[in-house]
Structure 1
């Protein structure tokens, strides 16, 4: 059975979330402060985290940042904050989804199920698979080849590395600085326009219309995300 950690300071909301997840067969743990949430998240074996932003102690933004440093599991923010800047910041720190309060418990469960399914597909049960398939795009990790509609598209080494990294972290937003450090292996003070150029070249090769991308989204103010 999959385990979910709910980090929420309002007891009634946390218990409502717990009840709905338990009805759908999940095991649920609850904590009410940022400090407890961080300790439990880092040592626990949870499959997904539901996270409030306005918490006693460590706030939700910092909590998301610290958890994401060591865990790849889905993180869903559920918050009364509704400003676009809060959503951009949350995605930029590694959240997979942002749901505003008041929320539909059924929608929350549905979104959690979708993220768990994607996580299992790309990072869990199929993590040893040699191929990643996202609609008409196929990435062969072993041979380092890319196919669109079954036709091979030639990639440079760094273009492939960048596409593969985004594809193995689906729906996650990464800043240019993070991508530069992950792919080029040096400090982000380097040539950040390199990331922009490589994203443009990848789009030209995999997108039917690079000006209206269906795979790699630009999240303004935050970075890039490969959507599945």
Structure 2
């Protein structure tokens, strides 16, 4: 159990707040594919931040993006430039998710250490939770999936793929995400169904 249920529930509540705030703040806030700029604008407005996003060149194969916080309420999101557009969208959403879900104790000054921890802790026994910084990474990924592939369409999407009406590739193109993200969204459906219903008062 890398991430505890109460942490997932907290993240889903925050995702729901972002979606609701985006609908109030942005023109066509429910557009598909979800606008990364709308997510950026919404997170900045909710938390009184200035959020800047840049495409940059990174050294190393494992770092797709990162987020830097500054004491003047400024956040810089850095996305590795040499990636497909749909992956850059997902990476940006994941870094925006960090802005939304992370508490101070989750902040990790050394990203390389977090990556090393994540690799080691992927094989933790089921009853053990991962370190806070690693949980933060896993939760941000989960949140990014939920922000870009809205929950309200998940059951119908899964049924369409199961019955052969659509493929995961079709859905990936529709939502503007890598195909693997559609797979993650289906995995999260069973894991999060009860938690999502509770978060939405169902």
TM-score band by shorter chain is under 0.3
The answer to which structure, 1 or 2, has the higher relative contact order (CA under 8 A, 6+ apart) is 2
Tell me the TM-score normalized by structure 2.
0.27
Choose between structure 1 and 2: higher helix proportion. Answer: 2
TM-score (norm 1): 0.25
